[in-house]
Amino acid sequence: MREAAETAGELYKAMRLAYPHLSSEEFDTLFNTSLSLSYGEAVFSERKISPDMLKKLNANFARRSAGTAVEYITGSVEFMGLT
C-alpha cells in the first residue's frame, strides 16, 4: 500500500485514513503488532520502516480486509486487559 522509507508516525496516520472501517482498537493492534511497536512509538516515532516491515504490515492488513480475525493474525487474544 505505502512505500518504504516513511517514518512509523507518517505511516500510521496515512494507513489510519486508508482503513476507516477498522475500529481504533483493531487498527492499533494490527499496526503495533505488525511493526513490534508500542502505541507511542507508532504514532510519534521518527523511526524509518524497512521494506520487510512494510511487507508484513500490508500483508496483515490485507488479511484483516479479507475477513481474518485480528486474533488469528496477531496470534494473541486480549481478555480483561491481559493478552
Closest CA to 1 of 67, 66, 54, 77: 54
Q: How many Cβ atoms are within 10 Å of 34's Cβ, its own excluded?
A: 20
Query: Among candidates 42, 56, 59, 52, which has minimal Cα distance to 7?
Result: 42
Residue with cell 476507516: 20
CA dist list (Å): 9 to 1, 42, 50, 67, 81 = 16, 6, 14, 26, 25
Grid coordinates standing for 60?
496483515
pLDDT in tens, the chain (83 residues): 555 448 888 899 999 999 999 999 999 999 999 998 888 888 787 888 889 999 999 999 999 999 999 999 988 766 656 55
pLDDT the model gives residue 81: 62
